[in-house]
Amino acid sequence: MRKEILFKMKSTYRDDFCIEGYWFGSGEKTACIVGPMRGDEVQQQYICSQIVKALQERESSGEIADGKSILVIPSCNPFSMNVGRRFWAMDSTDINRMFPGYDQGETTQRIAAAVFKHIEGFKYGMQLASFYVPGEFVPHVRMLSTGYEDLETARLFGFPYITTRKPLPFDTTLLNYNWQIWNTSSFSIYAGLTDRIAPTTSGQTVDAVMRFLYNTQTLVSPRADELATLSPGFNSAYIDEDSLTAVVAHHAGVYVRRRFAGDFVAPGEVLAHIIHPYNGSVLEEVRSDTGGLIFFSHHRPMVFQNAMLYRIKANGK
């Protein structure tokens, strides 16, 4: 393993801002794994640390394929994580909305430009991403439908689901989009939670990344039984995100969930209650409009009117 400072910036009040990269193997730029760009992506930070640990072990046992290199960037925004802010602490801009970056622009544009300079040109790119609504997902890999998305390669992770979504105009500044446009097979990985650590889904995600690296021959096992520690994964199902049914809150209040991500529900089933914060009365019984799998569940205890609470994959879709 070789550690490299990919970007460094002086700070007036704190230690210097540094983005570190961990290199494994040598040769062609094969696989790049990018961790948190937002300060609340704790699960993503933890997963990156476990990937670094796993790759150290595999490198020491000679499992990095000859002529191939792997780069892991555990965090692109340690400042915001240190102070508990989701976005850049100074002006609340989002690094993941700044790609491919501009090295003469605002601070987050410069950070994005520095990161993209190092990660451009990899064959495979993986970003440990988070959703704009706080909550939990069924773990999956996601791609934007740019015309360059690689669905078949995405199956090599062995996640239960692969989702695609048509990009909106403001999505053209995402890392996933720009990686694809610059000829990298790019995948956004959603690992269940964001602002807390879930050992089960974090372990599944580390296994999926390792499985992908073996399946693409980036890692090679010297013994057949080495792979026995990894599950074979799933035969991934494809989901167009436009087909997911959204369930929204019709009242603001205290949100008490009854059903969770990964649950299967019937049409009309009660998913949650929204409680009046002063008198305890039930303002709303949140019900499912369809039967199927809860793909996403909002998990903050207070919700606003019209907030997205659930996304459901309807049966047969």
One-letter amino acid of 166: K
62 near 222, Cβ under 8 Å? yes
- Across 158-163, average pLDDT: 97
**pLDDT confidence tier of residue 223, bands split at 50, 70 and 90:** low
What does pTM read for this prediction? 0.93
What is the predicted pLDDT for the residue at 90?
A: 86
Each residue's pLDDT tens digit, 135-150: 999 999 999 999 999 9
The pair of three-digit structure tokens given for residue 115, joined into one six-digit string: 């990161």
Q: Where are the domains of the chain?
A: 2-241, 244-314
CATH T-level assignment (fold) for domain 2-241: Aminopeptidase (3.40.630)
* CATH code of the domain occupying 244-314: 2.40.50.100
**pLDDT confidence tier of residue 272, bands split at 50, 70 and 90:** very high
- Across 190-217, average pLDDT: 94
Q: Of 167, 145, 143, 138, which Cα lies nearest the Cα of 154?
A: 143
Q: Of 248, 256, 263, which Cα lies nearest the Cα of 293?
A: 263
Q: Of 296, 282, 297, which Cα lies nearest the Cα of 251?
A: 282
Distances (CA, A) of 71 to 76, 105, 126: 13, 26, 10
Each residue's pLDDT tens digit, 227-238: 556 778 899 999
**What DSSP letter does each residue of 216-233 carry, written as one string?**
TTSB--SSGGGGGGS---
Phi-psi region of 79 (alpha: psi -120 to 50; beta: other; left: phi over 0): alpha
